[in-house]
Amino acid sequence: MFIDTHTHIYSKEFDTDRSEAIKRAELNNVNILLLPSIDKSYFERLLTCAKQYPQNCYPMIGLHPTSVNENYIEEINFIKSEITKQKYYAIGETGIDLYWDKTFIKEQTDALIKQIELAKLYNLPLVLHSRQSFNEIYNILYQYKSQILKGVFHCFPGNLLDAEKVINLGFYLGIGGVVTFKKSIMSEVVKKVPLENIVLETDSPYLTPEPNRGKRNESSYIINIAKKIAEIKNIPIEKVEEITTANAIKLFNL
């Protein structure tokens, strides 16, 4: 079995064929899909999807950094009010994004810290968005190094040195479609990093792997990511399946 540790299958891009997309995933042996939260405006969509497909879709709760603005405390309070109402498998996705807009960097940082504290309180993993902000997030997490904290750098953006930093914190690398791109440095990272430190993800509908790049991404394409990792490491795809799935089960307490 494969696990897609990061998919937005509840998004409008799947409104016409969500059930079919889940069936295609199952046909490729991708049976568990973890759903990252964005903000409360998407929350009903996420929960509806998780309730409609309880065997496949597992919800997270969190505030995406690009949704942080001057009202972010309201969003954090929403998370606090909802987190005890049902089972969630992670806090996320949270983090810092310095690619789209740096206006609310202070608020993004505080929102991340508040979500780290929630992850500690509820013993949940963190799912981290780190676009052009790896160092900023790492420096915050390093302050918690002696404490019980776990998680994944979703769509891991860094080089081998960054990967070693993540691993030393006890976090995983989320590897997705980017590893199949011809000009990506991710092949070199994946070649050197042990499988024991990797989980698979699609970030669908975004970041579609080759050979489907340019189309909408979906969880069934995990198989393309796994094939590429197997090729890079010169190992059977079954080994990629076995170890990355065990990692996801351990990280998300599945």
pTM of the prediction? Answer: 0.96
pLDDT digits 0-9 by tens, 145-197: 878 899 999 999 999 999 999 999 999 999 999 999 998 899 999 999 999 99
Contact 219, 22 (CB under 8 A): yes
Q: pLDDT at position 146, please? A: 72
The stretch 41-59 carries a mean pLDDT of 97
Question: What integer is the mean pLDDT of 50-63?
Answer: 98
Amino acid found at 244: T
pLDDT on residue 183: 85
Please tell me the predicted confidence (pLDDT) of residue 116.
97
Residue ranges covered by each domain of the chain: 2-252
Q: What is the pLDDT of residues 199-214, one digit of tens each?
A: 999 999 999 999 999 9
Residues paired with residue 8 on neighbouring β-strands, in sequence order: none
Secondary structure of 8-31 in the HEC alphabet?
Answer: CCCCHHHCCCHHHHHHHHHHCCEE
Which helix (H) or strand (E) element contains residue 243? helix 237-252
Phi, psi dihedral angles at 218 (to 5 degrees): -155, 165
Q: Check: CB of residue 134 under 8 Å from CB of residue 158.
A: yes
pLDDT digits (tens, 9 = 90+) for 13-34: 999 999 999 999 999 999 999 9
CATH topology of domain 2-252: TIM Barrel (3.20.20)
CA 182/CA 161 separation, integer angstroms: 21
pLDDT, tens digit, for every residue of 86-119?
999 999 999 999 988 889 999 999 999 999 999 9
Mean pLDDT of 72-82: 97
- Are the CB atoms for 49 and 13 separated by under 8 Å? no
pLDDT for 148 = 86
- Residues 125, 205: Cα–Cα separation, whole Å: 23
